[in-house]
């Protein structure tokens, strides 16, 4: 694992939500999403409702961008990549947390529950306290 990937995973362990941008008719559409899981390959899992507008956008275009900034540490990240969706029981179970019941009253088998997995293709990591204004960049 590269140093940039490791630092990005470490950073993501300190935040619960990030901004996720998808494409809407050729224009960016951004929303705050709660991270459910980050794996060692920097794949980031989220959950959504199948009927959410972002799902139509994802079905049309798999490109996405994740952005996050921590004002206390002065660290920010920008990840560019693709998203995939999964609605099988195993994928749902892998990210399920009990607090999701308020959004998905049917639990892990709620028919509206879908798992979104973001796979980065490019990572930008910036620590403005120690590294200045230019991000460290890695193509995956």
The parent domain of residue 112 ranges over 3-128
- Per-residue pLDDT band at 43 (split at 50, 70, 90): very high
At residue 133, the pLDDT reads 84
Overall domain count for the chain: 1
Position 82 in a domain: yes
Q: What angle do CA 13, 41, 81 make, to 5 degrees?
A: 95
Residue 98, helix vs strand vs coil: helix
At residue 91, the pLDDT reads 97
Position 133 in a domain: no
Position 20 in a domain: yes
| pTM greater than the 0.85 cutoff | yes
At residue 63, the pLDDT reads 97
Position 136 in a domain: no
Position 135 in a domain: no
Q: How far are the Cα atoms of 50, 114, 117 from residue 88, in angstroms, in the given order? A: 13, 8, 13
Strands 75-86 and 37-38: unpaired
Tokens of 111: 């028919």
pLDDT digit string, tens, across residues 68-118? 999 999 999 999 999 999 999 999 999 999 999 999 999 999 999 999 999
Q: Which CATH number characterizes residue 96's domain? A: 2.30.110.10
Position 92 in a domain: yes
Position 138 in a domain: no
- Per-residue pLDDT band at 131 (split at 50, 70, 90): confident
Position 34 in a domain: yes
């Amino acid at each position: 694992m590269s140093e940039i990937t490791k630092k990005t995973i470490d950073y993501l362990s300190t935040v619960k939500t990030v901004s996720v941008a998808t494409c809407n008719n050729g224009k960016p559409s951004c929303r705050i999403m709660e991270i459910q899981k980050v794996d060692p390959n920097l794949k980031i899992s989220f959950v959504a409702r199948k009927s959410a507008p972002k799902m139509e956008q994802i079905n049309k275009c798999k490109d996405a961008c994740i952005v996050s900034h921590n004002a206390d540490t002065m660290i920010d990240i920008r990840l560019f990549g693709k998203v995939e969706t999964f609605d099988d029981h195993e994928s749902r179970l892998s990210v399920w947390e009990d607090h999701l019941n308020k959004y998905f009253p049917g639990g892990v088998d709620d028919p509206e529950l879908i798992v979104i997995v973001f796979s980065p293709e490019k990572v930008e990591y910036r620590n403005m306290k120690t590294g200045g204004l230019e991000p460290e960049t890695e193509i995956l």
